[in-house]
Chains A and B, each alone.
Chain A
Amino acid sequence: MDNVDLDQLTSFIGLDRDHQMRAVRAALEALLAREQRGLVLADEVGCGKTYEALAITALLWRHFRESARKIERVLVVAEPALMQKWFDEIEAPPAKDKSAQRGFQQYVASEEWTGFREMLRNATQIGHKWDGEGSGRREAGKFQVPAKRVYLVKPLLLSGDRTGDASPIVRWLRRTDWDVIIVDEAHHFTNLKSARGRVFFPASTPESRDRGLMGRFLLALTATPFQLASREMVNLLRVVLAPNHDLEQIQDGLIKYEAALDHFYVRRRLAPNDEGRRRAVERLYGLRTVDASGGARAGALGLQALLRRYLIRNVKDARDRDYSLTERSNGGYERRPFAKLDDLRPIVKASPLIPLEGDDAWVYLHLRDVLVDAHQASKGAEGDEKPSFIAGDLRQCLSSYEQLQESAILAKKLPRAEETKKIVQDVLSRGHVHPKIAALCAVVDGIVEREIAMLRERPHAGFQKILVFNTLMRTAGALRKALNQTVEARIGPFVEEQVRAAGWANMDDAREMVRSALRKEREVVREQLGAQFEARFLRVTRELLEGTGLEMKSESREVVDVMFERAENHCTQPLFLLRMALWLRGCEEQADEFGVQTFLMRHVGDRLGRSLATIVDDYLDDTPAQGEAFSEENQERARREIARLARVLAHPEYVARFDGEQASDQREMRRECFNRPYAPLILLVSKVGEEGIDLQQHTRYLLHYDVEWNPAKMEQREGRVDREGRRTQGAVNVQFFLLKDTYEERIFHTVMQRDAWFQVLIGSKRQELAKGVEDDPEDEPKGEHVEEENGRLTAEERDKVMIDLRP
């Protein structure tokens, strides 16, 4: 394999970004030239890891297509919440017109890739719906899954916990000799004790990796190669089958490097030219570049070189995000900007944040008492009642009273619990708004107001949306209610005003015109489809629509009717009318039937028509080799695509939730609608949506209603928006909501502290880390400024200690 021409190989594919291609090349170098079994793609969130992984797979396929060992079976291990995304990326055919690009197939559209596209088209999710009956194939002396396909599977199906009741396909799955395994969000698999950990480490020990899921090539995808401890990173390298002698060196090196970092951290207040501080930096530099073993091992490499073998990490420019804290000011709430690597304690200390006062402080103090009571009671009792998780209960209180009211702690038989519950009920019954909800509503109101002002100036700009992260379910309900009111109150009058300004008498007038225009559009599309396909292919059955979120009264109707009915609802929502009114105004068109027709044709009709044609063309009108009219798989694909269209054409409220309380198709609907210019304007996202999914298209504002302990998770949250494909202008506004003087301050500091050091260890945000010294004009008076700078890394120090894993 020594003579692989990587330049030639990589020239077969052209991902959009240079950094993506650099990662692909580096990966192929590792796999083909250095003959490694796998590697970790650890790009920061939003750099396009999915496409990198698919491109590497494609090029491996291409490289081996003439050899005896072809790439025929690809497995993608992905979380259930991300399944749809993977399908979209893998399965969607190359779009015919460039403007509507989506999916990976666009990069492998040419003839040479037909075989590979075939694999992608045959993407199969392994689960209960498709048990693969009769499709197992005996190869290498065992039953394996059929070749020439991409398989998608949820991790828990693989963990072997339910061997007994696994369907044949799952059994085959485990026996199959996989050519490429792509593990998405691979950091979930590094905790050996967890169920996911057992996918690769069946006995929960590092040694049991040999018996875990194996493949010829392994690609692990994660933006956060370690969450809390660097040993997780070592397990990650085990997943991608890094050889033991390297692992040992890396583990040892990481331990030494972390110790040296601690050492440096203790000295960070010293002046940069202090001997002790300098020595600490030199030590780090030595470990990083010269010898990870610190002289303990002859001929060892530096830690950076060792890690680079197995970890590739593209980093982004940190200037893409503006961070701020929410703080009360003159009765309202304002943003207090901060930079992530600032010394945040004085900033937080000096800021009023969101004050917790009066009744709210009273409840908080009572709850704290209850928690201590409960803890003491459980310590005293011999019974097996476990001490309650104090932090969790406190966070409920800090989240909302609706949440707190349902908290288990208040249901306990403790004298103060009852008292506290009464206080909480009283607070709720008086309509007292939780300070954080009040703050969030105020902030959202301000954003909506600004956005409206901007729309007045630039009608074509589009509304920049708001993403709110919140982990607690009851709170999500309360937030949705409160925010809906806030947004409605602000945006309702504006819509009406614009609709009138465009020339309609009122909203209903506009709606009526939209409906009639849609009816015309429907006939146009019907005609187009009728000309293309036989009538029998245009009819859809109730059975086919099952599970798509569409209802059908009769047994069978034309697909065009089903969709246009849906579209009618969608196109009469206020935000649609608003966009239409703004568009008309922007183009100086009349609000007459022609204008409406034009808008609808451009924004709905044409696309809908194309999509329906594709569905019919690709799936319903498919003629499989076996001669079946509609194969199960094709039907499933059609169903998925119809469901997608149906989702897009939904009419959600201004504020929508994306969490475990909805069925997954509802969730998907909201996600897709959020990525489009209409409602919802605000998406309330729980842990379910923290990873992997795309929410970036129209989003500008990211509000952390609560804080996760883990900086990696916070990074993942922000990665939902700060990623490739965002259409909004300017940096993403990331805003924190912290209650003054409470537990939240502590969580925040912990997270930010961890974050700062992780960034050094795995080399993120180089731009931000590097700025500082050179940004300072020479003649600026020193003194306090120097003091402040002492706590941070200087530019030279950064250059010396940051581990750089860029490809």
Chain B
Amino acid sequence: MNREVRLFDEIDRFARGGEISHAIALTFGYDGDAAAERIWTPLIEKYGVRHPLVIASGIVEEGTALGVHVLRAPKASGVFHPKLFLAVREDAVFAAIGSANLTRGGLGANLEMLTPIVFARDEESAPPRAVLRDILTFLGTIVDGLASHAAAHSIGKVREVIRAAHIVLDGLPEPRRSSDLRFVHSYDKPLWEQLVEAHGNDVVTHVAVVSPFFEKDDPALEEGDSLLLYALGEGLPWAQRAKAPRCSLHVVAVGDGSDLPRAALESSGSVVALFVQALSEEPRRLHAKLIAVFGKKRTTLLWGSPNFTPAALLRSAHEGGNVECGLAMTTSAAQVSPEALSGELDLNKLFHLHDGPLPEARMPPRRQRPIFEVGEALYDGETRVLSIFGEVWSQKVARMVVLVDLGANKLTLAEAPLKGPGPLHIEALAGQLEEMDPETGRRRLRSLNVSYVAFDADGQAIAEQRARINVRFEDALELRGNLLLGAEALSADALLVPSAAPPEARVAALDRMISLWKAARHGEQTMITRHQASLDGFFRNVRGGLDARWEGLQRRRGSCFSLMRWSHDLRRALLAATKDETMDPVRRAYLVARVASHITRVLAAIPGWHNDPERAFSVLDAGELTTALDAVSLSNSVRPEITMDARAARDRGLAVLASAGKSGRKVRG
């Protein structure tokens, strides 16, 4: 808590200068501009992260970074409250779990607790594999819940991250000696229950709590619904002679604006000691959350997203509780005594014992059920269709209007009748979202912000939500500013080079291209698309790209992760070639022939790299690669012999893919 953990520095260390292939963040509240500035832009530009994903709830400001894909978690039941950051690179996964959201506060202004963990073969103090396994299971459950709330494409992106991390996990050995660290979440069981289970039957002598938020006084609640009272009573196996104070509560402040359960505090009296941060030397506002259970023999710690509230700790998400996650650890009492913990976290410096009166009782505001919610609006630059996903809860909603927010005026994009509660799904042709960029002459998005207004049967607007649209693109690097660069920026042949070029270079290349467009526009000259630009460039991209990939695979002896990435990259290149109608047929034939023989070569090498080649075959998506390779049309506009040569090479490639696919399925089956 006192030792500052900066998220980007940790990822930076984790990356080791290499490429980070995937990144996803879960957060409650999201400040897109702050996150882009501190995390995403450096990750994209320095480590080539493609399509970082955010699943958020609460106050979400997506910001202007179009390359970041923001999904909203459903608000239906409890609050979506986890804070988790996951990044994947070649054969390693990074996870950061704690209290920090991707908000200005979470990224620096608040006092947070954040635990970075690296899962890698050569990591010295590696945590148990189960931690990663449980994180991935947790993420999987979240994705399942997104089904009606986000586009299948976006959900697929999240699943890709999980899959990549799984491939890393599969290759990790169980560390010989590791701590008793566990990842916990609130989906199946209340966190409190898991905490108690972890602590076991060892009698409890003291509980220390750090939390910025607490349960509120609510006369409607039963006494058992007070977490504080529950914790002091039957919630824990208290030692008979546990001394007072049994519980030390570390809070932000006592007084106006701080929500403390006056009723529970009054009834527990001197059993609870109250420590406040407000007047300490620490200027940052407390946002960290920690529960420490001190027993005779053991100490059990739980930290992460949950505040000290019943919704976070006492109920599972299925029972209407929050979605929370965190880390739990049990050690011997000697190892972590109250004093040790206090010293370790500087609790005695950050907090001061509160001696004064208790705060006024405050009634919690009634939580209103939302009328509707949009989880994601995804714009497809190719089809120019805007797909809106979400859920309607209120009977009153009869009609929904989608407006482009152009600041001063609003433009109606779509209007749809709705029939009460249920999933919300609207598709609309939304070419109006685009305009020509006067500087480059390219397509760009006019506005990122879209408003959704729900009307009742009488035509009265009853609810409004504003959200930024996501853009469906395969590569975040293709988006600069609001420009929809798409396939024209990174065409099939160009896609084959990235492994040779560092992300900075690719970003720089895009910037160069944009400035070329600007210059061309300035000079009113026609720009030649990349395919026509240079046969030499095309050759270097294809040959250099394939050679670099082959060398990369050899260096890593065809590790499963590298094979997965390899397959992914080839598919993208082939897909781009399929889509690019301007591509010269000779170049296309050449590309197909060379990629096919490259595939043949790689698949032939796999048995030499792996004792268990089936597993390797299973990760490379032979089926999808087959589809991609087969989809590139070999036109007859060139001499038939050329097409024949390319076809023959492709057929050889497809044949080896077919047999690889078979042995891969055995494993998956």
Contacts and interface: CB of A to CB of B under 8 A. Distances in A.
Given A741-B535, A741-B536, A746-B536, A361 B587 contact: yes
B638 A358 contact: yes
Given A358-B638, A368-B543, A346 B534 contact: no
A413 to B, nearest CB: 19
Given A350-B528, A365-B539, A787-B522, A359 B639 contact: yes
A409 B525 CA distance: 40
Given A356-B535, A358-B638, A372-B543, A346 B525 contact: yes
Contacts of A357: 584, 586
A741 B533 contact: yes
What range describes how many residues of A lie at the interface? Answer: 20 to 34
B301 to A, nearest CB: 56
A300 B158 CA distance: 72
A84 interface: no
Given A741-B532, A741-B534, A784 B522 contact: yes
A369 interface: yes
B523 interface: yes
A742 interface: yes
B638 A368 contact: no
B534 A745 contact: yes
A349 interface: yes
Contact of A362 (B522, B528, B536, B590): B590
Nearest to B533: A741
A743 interface: yes
A372 B589 CA distance: 19
A480 B309 CA distance: 93
Contacts of B532: 741
Contacts of B202: none
B543 A362 contact: no
Interface in B501-532: 522-526, 528, 532
Contacts of B589: 362
Given A372-B543, A784-B523, A362 B535 contact: no
B594 to A, nearest CB: 8
Interface string A336-377: 000000000010011000001111011011001100100010
Interface string A758-798: 00000000000000000000000000100110000000000
A368 B594 CA distance: 13
B536 A743 contact: yes
Contacts of B523: 346, 784, 787-788
B555 to A, nearest CB: 15
B642 interface: yes
B437 interface: no
Given A742-B536, A743-B536, A350 B590 contact: no
A746 B525 CA distance: 21
B534 A362 contact: no
A190 to B, nearest CB: 33
Nearest to B646: A362
B651 interface: no
Interface string A283-322: 0000000000000000000000000000000000000000
Contacts of B319: none
Contact of A358 (B536, B538, B639): B639
A362 B642 contact: yes
B168 to A, nearest CB: 32
Interface string B218-244: 000000000000000000000000000
Contacts of A742: 534-536
A366 to B, nearest CB: 8
B547 interface: yes
B282 to A, nearest CB: 49
A743 B534 CA distance: 9
Contacts of B522: 784, 787
B215 to A, nearest CB: 65
B545 to A, nearest CB: 12
Contacts of B590: 362, 365
Specify which of A364, A368, A788 lies most central, judged by the most chain B CB atoms within 10 Å of its CB: A368
Contacts of B587: 361, 365
Contacts of B526: 350
A745 B536 CA distance: 10
Interface in A451-502: none
Nearest to A349: B528
A358 B535 contact: no
B534 A372 contact: no
A784 B594 CA distance: 44
A358 B638 CA distance: 6
Nearest to A739: B535
A743 B540 CA distance: 12
A364 B547 contact: no
B586 A362 contact: yes
A626 B519 CA distance: 81
A152 B528 CA distance: 55
Interface in B555-602: 584, 586-587, 589-590, 594
Contacts of A426: 641
Interface in A437-461: none
Contacts of B594: 369
A365 B584 CA distance: 13
Contacts of B586: 357-358, 361-362, 365
A364 B586 CA distance: 11
A232 B321 CA distance: 83
A369 B528 contact: no
Interface string B9-28: 00000000000000000000
A359 B642 contact: yes
Interface string A489-532: 00000000000000000000000000000000000000000000
15 contacts: A357-B586, A359-B639, A362-B586, A362-B590, A362-B638, A362-B642, A365-B586, A365-B590, A369-B543, A376-B547, A741-B536, A741-B538, A742-B534, A742-B535, A788-B523
Interface of B: 522-526, 528, 532-539, 543, 547, 584, 586-587, 589-590, 594, 638-639, 641-642
Interface of A: 346, 349-350, 356-359, 361-362, 364-365, 368-369, 372, 376, 426, 740-743, 745-746, 784, 787-788
Given A349-B533, A426-B641, 13 more contacts: A350-B526, A358-B586, A361-B584, A361-B587, A362-B590, A364-B539, A365-B586, A365-B587, A365-B590, A368-B536, A741-B535, A742-B536, A743-B536
Closest 8 CB pairs of A and B: A741-B535, A361-B586, A741-B534, A368-B539, A365-B590, A362-B586, A362-B642, A358-B638
